[in-house]
């Protein structure tokens, strides 16, 4: 029985960036995001990070593999189920949802999902600090993810950050969004205050992250780019090339 | 039937010579010797050696004194025993069941077989002829019991070595010496000192005599004399009863276990490595099937390559554990085939598993493949469904409705997705929908309808930014006419949490009193 080297070891040989930023090529296989249960910031950040990781994995053709979203019953009661039309458009047709009754079942589903080669990533939502999700269980998840190369983002709703072997651990909460361009009174694009409090290859830090129509960005100053904040809904295409006036002058 | 190979070791030594050299070997007085504590001792001698005075059991020095030009050749007891095993298997041509009778005999069960060879005399003649063809001196005898057959084969003097079932064994065998009872040497010595030399004398004390009282006393004396001897070879009474068939005598049969062997005769001689690898892979697959049928795994595998010019190339691998994996075997042999010189070509390839061990069927390979390469999506869904139930694993699909909770259905994950009209892009929908809209307590509503503060799950939230309303009318074709419409608002509170709330009905719509507020979705 020959064993392939763990992807985590291969990745760790690359020079680590001291500071985390979106779009890094080497993404961990097991991340945890702690978020309050009364908001969807955890799931939103998990999705944004997952899309960021999948896009920066340098796959030129679009990834058409399925995404597994596992929730336990308490997480469903706290935060509801994913809404199809609210999902990013490239995820809508490839989401498989697992409603597990207990945290044990949710862990089983997470592990089975990471063993499946036809899944691009696994997103889990587990509420609270169940006994089943011990350090051993999280270590098991990490090893499975690294062995099979399927990434896991585990959202912990209303949970205390206890011992865990997750490679990156985030503390996320919603943050006031930038005002949209056309209706300053309306809520803007999704924005989160994310604190990376444990990571193997990066220094801890805090960021204001926003989801700019599918791209994860760092918002540096909440007040400076009020006007530059893009409209949440893009009805008009971006102008490409020369304007009509330029064409007429030529 | 008992077959005594009277001079097995000498015959084997003689057969080891080339046919033209055998006459010279017969002419020279020769003794087979074994090294003992007192010097080389003769175990057997050829006829010339016996004529010159050499006897089995003599020291070689004594025999050399008698015959100075006696040739000494080391004996080979292990080889004799191996040859005897092969002969016992070969002797199954006369009967279905044979046993070893070491050091130089074979017992064959020929019950009900003799007529196939034309009678018992013809059977014995056939045995003599077949062994003579192999160059082995043999004396064979037929009897109802193994002991009687052995006694006849070793010690009969007359022409007829057959004891029919109806014959009285005691009468016919009475003249044989007591050594015909297969007894140990020390027992024979004891019997000789007791004055019992012939079987008849021993049988005389065992039941057929004239005076029963004297008879019983003598037999009792013998039994007491040998009361501590439980081994049959040390107890003449037991042996006698075995000979007469009064006591069963179990014999250990020799069973042939053919070595798993597969081979390919090739239409065209192989001269290149690639087709040889293919043939070896095919042979490995065949071997795996052969081993699987026997429930065994190979520990040692031998590959023989016959070249066109008659040369045979041997390659052998030994395995750390019993294995039955064709890919593994092929890979191991591929490393050993690098130095094969094909010459004018290889025309036959044969693989034998000369050492195999029991290996039960196992499903380890299936699991190992899943461990290495991951499971397929269908397998993963199956595993999840089996443990969590079919309704737990679903895929959200759009449904033709504009009521948010009805616009989404759940179906089995691998079922085909029905085509549906896509939603309008400017309807921003939340990332997550609660299973049931939760009522919120509005603390302070603005005149135009939006709550400025509300209480949800015990927390008061200040609404800072609002977009709406988006009015969703009830589906009148599905619901009662008293169902109220909904006015949806996207709101953001002071901490930046974004929610989707709605007011059910408006004041004055005639379908109820003051409208209630609900929170239905959570924005990312």
Q: Do B432 and A41 touch (CB under 8 A)?
A: no
User: Which of A229 and B503 is assigned the larger pLDDT?
Assistant: B503
- Size (chain B), residues: 524
Within a 13 Å sphere around the CA of A240, how many CA atoms are in the beta-carbon half?
Answer: 3
User: What is the distance between the alpha carbons of residues B146 and B101, in angstroms, rounded to a whole number?
Assistant: 10
Q: Do A98 and B396 touch (CB under 8 A)?
A: no
A7 pLDDT higher than 60: no
CB neighbours of A121 closer than 8 A, spacing ≥ 6? A50, A53, A54, A67, A68, A150, A151, A152, A153
Domain boundaries, chain B: 2-142, 261-358, 428-522
CB neighbours of A20 closer than 8 A, spacing ≥ 6? A168, A196, A199, A202, A203, A205, A207
Is some CB atom of chain A closer than 8 A to the CB atom of B164?
Answer: no
> Which of A1, A96, A235 lies closest to B425 in CB terms?
A235
Mind listing the pLDDT tens digit of every residue in chain B (524 residues)?
Answer: 888 888 888 888 888 888 888 888 888 888 888 888 888 898 888 888 888 888 888 888 888 888 888 888 888 889 999 999 988 999 888 888 899 887 888 999 988 888 898 888 898 889 889 999 988 888 888 888 888 888 888 887 765 678 877 777 777 777 788 888 888 888 888 888 888 888 777 766 555 555 667 777 777 777 888 887 778 888 888 888 888 888 888 888 888 888 889 999 999 898 899 999 999 999 999 999 999 998 888 888 999 999 999 899 998 888 888 888 888 888 888 888 888 888 889 999 999 998 888 888 766 555 666 666 777 888 888 888 888 888 999 999 998 888 988 989 999 888 888 888 777 777 788 999 999 999 998 876 666 677 888 899 999 999 999 888 889 999 989 888 889 999 999 999 999 999 999 998 888 888 888 888 999 999 98
Q: What is the DSSP letter of A63?
A: P
Q: What is the predicted pLDDT for the residue at B363?
A: 63
Q: Do B407 and A84 touch (CB under 8 A)?
A: yes
* Residue B136 backbone class (left: φ over 0; alpha: ψ -120 to 50; beta: rest): beta
A3 pLDDT higher than 80: no
Report chain A residues whose CB lies below 8 A from the CB of B523.
Answer: 40, 44, 86, 187, 190
Q: What is the predicted pLDDT for the residue at B332?
A: 85
Report chain B residues whose CB lies below 8 A from the CB of A143.
Answer: none
For residue B354 the two structure tokens come to 């000369």
Q: What is the mean pLDDT of chain A?
A: 82
A92 pLDDT higher than 70: yes
Is some CB atom of chain B closer than 8 A to the CB atom of A90?
Answer: no
Q: Do A97 and B395 touch (CB under 8 A)?
A: yes
> What architecture (CATH level 2) is domain B2-142?
3-Layer(aba) Sandwich (3.40)
Q: What is the predicted pLDDT for the residue at B203?
A: 66
Kindly state the greatest CA–CA separation across chain B. Answer: 142
A-contacting residues in B 112-151 (Cβ below 8 Å): none
Residues forming a β-bridge with B171:
none
Q: For residue A240, name the pLDDT band (cuts at 50, 70, 90).
A: low
Q: B107 — phi, psi (to 5°)?
A: -110, 130
Q: Which residue of A has its CA nearest to B520?
A: A80
Asked whether this chain's domains B2-142 and B261-358 adopt the same fold, the reply is no
Q: State how beta strands A30-35 and A168-174 pair.
A: parallel
Contact predicate B491/B428, CB 8 Å: no
Mutation target vs A (from B498, B500, B518; most A CBs, 10 A cutoff): B498
Within a 13 Å sphere around the CA of A222, how many CA atoms are in the beta-carbon half?
Answer: 15
3-state secondary structure of B391: coil
ipTM of the complex: 0.82
Could you list the beta-strand ranges (E) of chain A.
30-35, 66-72, 81-82, 95-100, 119-127, 151-157, 168-174, 191-199, 205-212, 215-218
User: What is the distance between the alpha carbons of residues B323 and B85, in angstroms, rounded to a whole number?
Assistant: 29
What is the average pLDDT across A92-101? 92
- Chain-centre distance of CA A114, in angstroms? 16
Report chain A residues whose CB lies below 8 A from the CB of B368.
Answer: 1
Contact predicate B149/B1, CB 8 Å: yes
For residue B442 the two structure tokens come to 């509005």
A-contacting residues in B 356-385 (Cβ below 8 Å): 368, 370, 372-377, 379-381, 383-384
User: What is the distance between the alpha carbons of residues A89 and A84, in angstroms, rounded to a whole number?
Assistant: 9
- Size (chain A), residues: 250
Contact predicate B388/A110, CB 8 Å: no
Q: For residue A222, name the pLDDT band (cuts at 50, 70, 90).
A: low
Could you list the beta-strand ranges (E) of B324-404.
346-358, 393-398
Mutation target vs B (from A5, A187, A189, A190; most B CBs, 10 A cutoff): A187
Map tokens 């029905």 to a residue: B418
A53 pLDDT higher than 70: yes
Geometric angle at alpha carbon A112, from A108 and A118, rounded to 5°: 155
Q: What is the predicted pLDDT for the residue at A226?
A: 46
**pLDDT exceeding 90 applies to what percent of chain A?**
47
Contact predicate A190/A172, CB 8 Å: no
A155 pLDDT higher than 90: yes
Report chain B residues whose CB lies below 8 A from the CB of A183.
Answer: 467
Q: Do A115 and B459 touch (CB under 8 A)?
A: no
Inter-chain Cβ pairs, chain A and chain B, closer than 8 A: 189
Q: Cis ω on the peptide bond leading into residue A122 (within 30° of 0)?
A: no
Q: What is the predicted pLDDT for the residue at A229?
A: 47
Q: What is the predicted pLDDT for the residue at A1?
A: 41
Q: What is the predicted pLDDT for the residue at A224?
A: 47
Q: Considering just the CA atoms, what is the radius of gyration of chain B in Å? A: 48
Q: What is the DSSP letter of B491?
A: E
> Which of A66, A177, A193 lies closest to B377 in CB terms?
A66
Q: Which of A74, A117, A119 is nearest to A99 (CA)?
A: A74
Q: Which residues of A39-59 are buried (b: 16+ CB within 10 A; e: fewer)?
A: bbbbbbbbbbbbbbbbbeeee
> Which of B394, B435, B492 lies closest to A177 in CB terms?
B492
Q: Which residue of A has its CA nearest to B368?
A: A1
Given the candidates 3.40.50.2000, 3.40.50.11540, 3.40.190.10, 3.30.1490.100, the CATH classification of the domain at B261-358 is: 3.30.1490.100
Q: What is the predicted pLDDT for the residue at A236?
A: 55
Is some CB atom of chain B closer than 8 A to the CB atom of A96?
Answer: yes
Contact predicate B43/B32, CB 8 Å: yes
Q: Do B521 and A80 touch (CB under 8 A)?
A: yes
User: What is the distance between the alpha carbons of residues B236 and B222, in angstroms, rounded to a whole number?
Assistant: 9
Residue A90's CB: how many other CB atoms inside 10 A? 15
Q: What is the predicted pLDDT for the residue at A2?
A: 45
Report chain A residues whose CB lies below 8 A from the CB of B388.
Answer: 98-101, 105, 108-109
Is some CB atom of chain A closer than 8 A to the CB atom of B465?
Answer: yes
Q: Do B384 and A86 touch (CB under 8 A)?
A: no
CB neighbours of B377 closer than 8 A, spacing ≥ 6? A66, A116, A118, A119, B414
- B266, containing H or E segment: strand B261-270
Domains of chain A plus CATH, in order, are: 24-217 (3.40.50.300)
Mutation target vs A (from B369, B373, B378, B396; most A CBs, 10 A cutoff): B396
B-contacting residues in A 209-228 (Cβ below 8 Å): 211
Q: B457 — phi, psi (to 5°)?
A: 55, 40
Q: Do B523 and A95 touch (CB under 8 A)?
A: no
Q: Which residue of B has its CA nearest to A209?
A: B524
């Amino acid at each position: 029985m020959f064993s392939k080297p763990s992807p985590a070891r291969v990745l760790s040989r690359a020079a680590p960036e001291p500071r985390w930023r979106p779009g890094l090529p080497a993404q961990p296989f097991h991340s945890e995001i702690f978020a309050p249960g009364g908001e969807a910031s955890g799931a939103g950040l998990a999705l944004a990070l997952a899309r960021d990781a999948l896009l920066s994995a340098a796959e030129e053709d679009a990834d058409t593999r399925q995404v597994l979203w596992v929730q336990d019953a308490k997480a469903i009661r706290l935060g509801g189920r994913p809404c199809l039309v609210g999902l990013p458009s490239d995820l809508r047709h490839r989401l498989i949802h697992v409603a597990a009754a207990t945290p044990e079942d949710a862990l089983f589903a997470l592990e089975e999902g990471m063993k499946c080669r036809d899944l691009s990533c696994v997103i889990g939502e587990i509420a609270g600090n169940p006994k089943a999700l011990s350090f051993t269980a999280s270590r098991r998840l990490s090893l499975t993810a690294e062995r099979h190369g399927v990434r896991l983002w585990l959202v912990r709703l209303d949970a205390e950050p206890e011992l865990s072997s997750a490679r990156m651990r985030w503390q996320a909460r919603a943050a006031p969004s930038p005002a949209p361009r056309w209706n300053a009174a309306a809520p803007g694009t999704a924005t989160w205050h994310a604190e990376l409090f444990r990571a193997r290859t990066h220094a801890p830090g805090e960021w204001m992250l926003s989801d700019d129509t599918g791209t994860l960005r760092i918002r540096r100053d909440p007040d400076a780019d009020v006007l530059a904040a893009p409209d949440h809904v893009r009805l008009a295409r971006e102008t490409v090339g020369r304007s009509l006036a330029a064409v007429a002058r030529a | 039937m008992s077959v005594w190979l009277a001079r097995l070791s000498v015959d084997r030594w003689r057969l080891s010579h080339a046919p033209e050299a055998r006459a010279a070997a017969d002419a020279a007085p020769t003794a087979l010797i074994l090294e003992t504590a007192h010097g080389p001792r003769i175990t057997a001698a050829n006829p010339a050696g016996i004529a010159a005075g050499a006897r089995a059991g003599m020291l070689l020095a004594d025999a050399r004194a008698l015959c100075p030009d006696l040739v000494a050749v080391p004996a080979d007891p292990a080889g004799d025993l191996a040859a005897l095993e092969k002969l016992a298997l070969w002797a199954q041509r006369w009967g279905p069941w044979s046993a070893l009778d070491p050091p130089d005999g074979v017992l064959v069960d020929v019950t009900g077989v003799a007529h196939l060879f034309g009678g018992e005399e013809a059977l014995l003649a056939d045995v003599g002829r077949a062994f003579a063809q192999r160059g082995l001196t043999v004396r064979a005898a037929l009897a109802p019991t193994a002991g009687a057959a052995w006694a006849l084969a070793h010690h009969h003097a007359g022409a007829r070595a057959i004891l029919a079932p109806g014959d009285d064994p005691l009468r016919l065998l009475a003249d044989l010496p007591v050594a015909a009872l297969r007894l140990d040497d020390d027992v024979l010595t004891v019997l000789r000192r007791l004055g019992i030399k012939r079987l008849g004398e021993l049988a005389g004390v065992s039941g057929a005599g004239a005076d029963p009282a004297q008879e019983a006393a003598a037999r009792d004396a013998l039994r007491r004399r040998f009361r501590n001897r439980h081994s049959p070879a040390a107890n003449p009474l037991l042996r006698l009863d075995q000979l007469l068939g009064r006591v069963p005598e179990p014999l250990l049969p020799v069973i042939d276990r053919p070595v798993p062997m597969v081979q390919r005769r090739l239409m065209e001689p192989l001269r290149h490595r690639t087709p040889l690898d293919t043939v070896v892979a095919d042979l490995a697959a065949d071997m795996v099937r052969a081993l699987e049928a026997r429930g065994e795994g190979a520990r040692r595998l031998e590959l023989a390559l016959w070249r066109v010019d008659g040369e045979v190339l041997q390659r052998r691998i030994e395995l750390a554990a019993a294995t039955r994996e064709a890919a593994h075997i092929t890979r191991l042999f591929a490393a050993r085939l690098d130095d094969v010189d094909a010459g004018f070509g290889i025309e036959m390839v044969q693989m034998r598993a000369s050492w195999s061990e029991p290996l039960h069927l196992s499903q380890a390979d299936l699991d190992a493949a899943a461990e290495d390469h991951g499971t397929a999506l269908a397998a993963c869904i199956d595993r999840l469904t089996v443990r969590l139930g079919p309704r737990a694993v679903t895929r959200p699909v759009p449904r033709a409705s504009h009521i948010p909770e009805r616009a989404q259905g759940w179906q089995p994950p691998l079922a085909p997705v029905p085509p549906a009209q896509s939603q309008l892009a400017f309807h921003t929908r939340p990332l997550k929908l609660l299973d049931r809209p939760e009522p919120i307590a509005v603390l302070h509503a603005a005149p135009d309808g939006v709550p400025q503060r509300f209480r949800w799950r015990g927390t008061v939230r200040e609404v800072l930014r609002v977009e709406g309303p988006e009015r969703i009318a009830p589906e009148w074709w599905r619901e009662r006419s008293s169902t109220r419409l909904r006015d949806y608002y996207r709101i953001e509170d002071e901490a930046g949490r974004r929610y989707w709330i709605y007011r059910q009905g408006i004041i004055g719509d005639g379908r109820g009193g003051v409208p209630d507020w609900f929170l239905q979705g959570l924005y990312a």
